[in-house]
Chains A and B, each alone.
Chain A
Amino acid sequence: MALIDLANPTRFLRLVNAVLPWLAAATVILFAAGLYRALGAPDDYQQGATVKIMFLHVPAAWLGMMGWGLMSVAALGTLVWRHPLADVAGKAAAPIGAAFTFICLVTGSLWGRPTWGTYWVWDARLTSMLVLLLLYLGVLALYWTAEDPGRGARAAAILSLVGAVNLPIIKFSVDWWNTLHQPASIMRMGGSAIDPSILTPLLIMTAAFTCLFFTLHLAAMRNEILRRRVRTMQLMEAQRFAEASA
């Protein structure tokens, strides 16, 4: 099957129905393995057991950013190729990305209190992450409040592309500004700065969270396609009633 064939919603639904159970099973297995390794990981020599919050915070941060990246690519599909599946992908990713960004901010805050002595500080990394959550809420508002779904989709796509500017700001904020947040410690020149006993569970948890994201995203895309079918059929039924009563 050529990749372009998947752009047909009916074929895409068939693929989702086939893939979803396997993806969900992989998510459960990876979470079981990740949590087992994460809860058994040694304490950090400085942070103690609070380092266990990292196994949630880092994957959530990654998915918050990846979700917006996915929405930006989908926005190109909506604006340039006007493909309905691109809009479906963007709309389905928004609440999931927002939820992971929320998890990132709250777990970061709960991690910050015992390690930094404060729940929140207006530094570049934390503030740019909060801006990402606000951007997500803006996109959701555009999708949920627009009377014309097509106009709402185009407005959300434009905001998705504009908001993509925030992604490199989040990533490099710890390098560009003097922040309380630690600098990059996983993806950096010279390799990871984290000991393998902590890095391995972190990578497994990141894989588990990523599988969860795509499981939820595909399921939400399927729901959105069905919702649009319902809307089309309701409009046709209303039209039929109008013609019959005319």
Chain B
Amino acid sequence: MSLGPHADFIIASYALTAFVIAAMAAWVVLDYVAQRRVLGELEERGVSRRARNEGQS
């Protein structure tokens, strides 16, 4: 496959797109790991999302 005289422009386009997509994928994965870790730490400390008096009417 020959990319002709403007190969640099084509390669730069594909490289930049791959980089941005990889950055977005890394962002969602790392963010998910971070949120799960903090949630786990809070749950270990006994923090619950439900109010202590919930269910008492």
Contact = CB atoms under 8 A, between A and B. Distances in A.
Given A56-B17, A113-B9, 15 more contacts: A50-B10, A52-B10, A53-B13, A56-B13, A99-B24, A106-B13, A107-B17, A114-B6, A114-B9, A216-B28, A223-B35, A226-B35, A229-B39, A233-B49, A237-B42
A107 B1 contact: no
Contacts of A96: 24
Interface string A64-85: 0000000000000000000000
Interface string B4-41: 11110110111011001101110111011001101100
Contacts of A48: 4-6
B10 A49 contact: yes
A222 interface: yes
Nearest to B6: A114
A237 B49 CA distance: 10
Contacts, number: 95
B36 A226 contact: yes
Q: Is the interface of A mostly helix, strand, loop or mixed?
A: helix
B9 A111 contact: yes
Interface size class of A (residues with CB under 8 A): 35 or more
A223 B31 contact: yes
A43 B4 contact: yes
Q: Is the interface of B mostly helix, strand, loop or mixed?
A: helix
B8 to A, nearest CB: 9
B32 A223 contact: yes
Nearest to B35: A226
Contact of A233 (B28, B31, B32, B48): B48
Closest 8 CB pairs of A and B: A226-B35, A114-B6, A219-B28, A49-B4, A107-B13, A233-B42, A223-B31, A49-B3
Interface string A31-46: 0000000011001000
B35 A236 contact: no
Given A223-B35, A236-B47, A50 B24 contact: no
